[in-house]
Amino acid sequence: MLDALSRTFFLSLAGSEPLRRLASRYGMRAGGFARRFIAGETLEDALETARQLTGAGLLLTLNYLGESVASIEDARRAADGYVRMLGTMREHGLTPRISVKLTQLGLVHDPAACEANLRRLLDAGGDACFVRVDMEHSTWVDPTLDLVERIWRDGHRRVGVVLQAYLYRTPDDLARVNALGIGVRLCKGAYKEDRDVAYPVKADVNAAFVDLTGTLLRDADYPALATHDPHMIAAARAAADEIGRSRDSFEFQMLYGVRRDLQASLLDDGYRVRVYLPHGDQWFPYFMRRMGERPANVLFVARSLLHER
């Protein structure tokens, strides 16, 4: 109950424009409270952080923060930014791997233009590129899956999708994408949802995550398990060992700045670990969702603010 209230509270703050303006004065400056979770406001900031993380043995997915753009022109500009990002990553010797939200590419305003933007990213990325289509509010699950499937059936094999364990429908969605062979990143889910579409109780979400993890490890070619929960990680390791799955045939994914101790220990144990590395000036809603997901994040930021003061 407390976790649900915390998530609701921080999601409501994410839409506060006065709070966003106040936070922008302090959050992203050097040593600011948000820099623990966000690589910076520019691509150059993100690339510098990326070099440090790859040097430590971590895999990376870059994300340019932003969602629900105001116009199709804004969506086109976001796609332009991703195209530049892919080229710059190659120039710096980084594997071009990105995560995108379809509402950022124009899904709300013009689904056809959104699809064209996504295809442009795949074409611009080259053979080594991989584009992970992020999942958003339950409103957008069907349009997202339909678009990813359409692109997959057209022969693009460098695209994957995210599924959220807290939605009741996800086992059916997982069966659908597994049957096609589309790569899945499984997470718990961070958006505010009604109890008629999503589990409202954390224990139920955890149970769903464990069940879906077992399905992925049995049936998928290369699953990605996005969690910072040691219990979920232990369950995944046990399930993989039980079926004899090698440690390099799947990966754990974590957010930049969260549970760096777990990231290091998994690397030491021979698992693959990928860090989701966000950057951009539209960082505030993302930051507030991170606060709502985990009380330890709130405590970290509170300590940082006290230290700054």
Q: What is the set of active-site residues? A: 134, 185
Q: Residue 34 contacts by C-beta under 8 Å, 6 or more apart in sequence?
A: 23, 27, 28, 283, 287, 301
| 89 in Cβ contact with 44 (< 8 Å) | no
Q: Residue 64: in which H helix or E strand, if any?
A: strand 59-64
Residue 73 has, within 13 A of its CA and on its CB side, a CA count of 0
Token pair, residue 231, equals: 């219990």
Give me 124's structure tokens.
């611009």
Distance (Å, whole) CA 7 – CA 14: 11
Other CB atoms within a 10 A radius of the CB of residue 50 amount to 22
Residue 205 tokens read as 């979400």
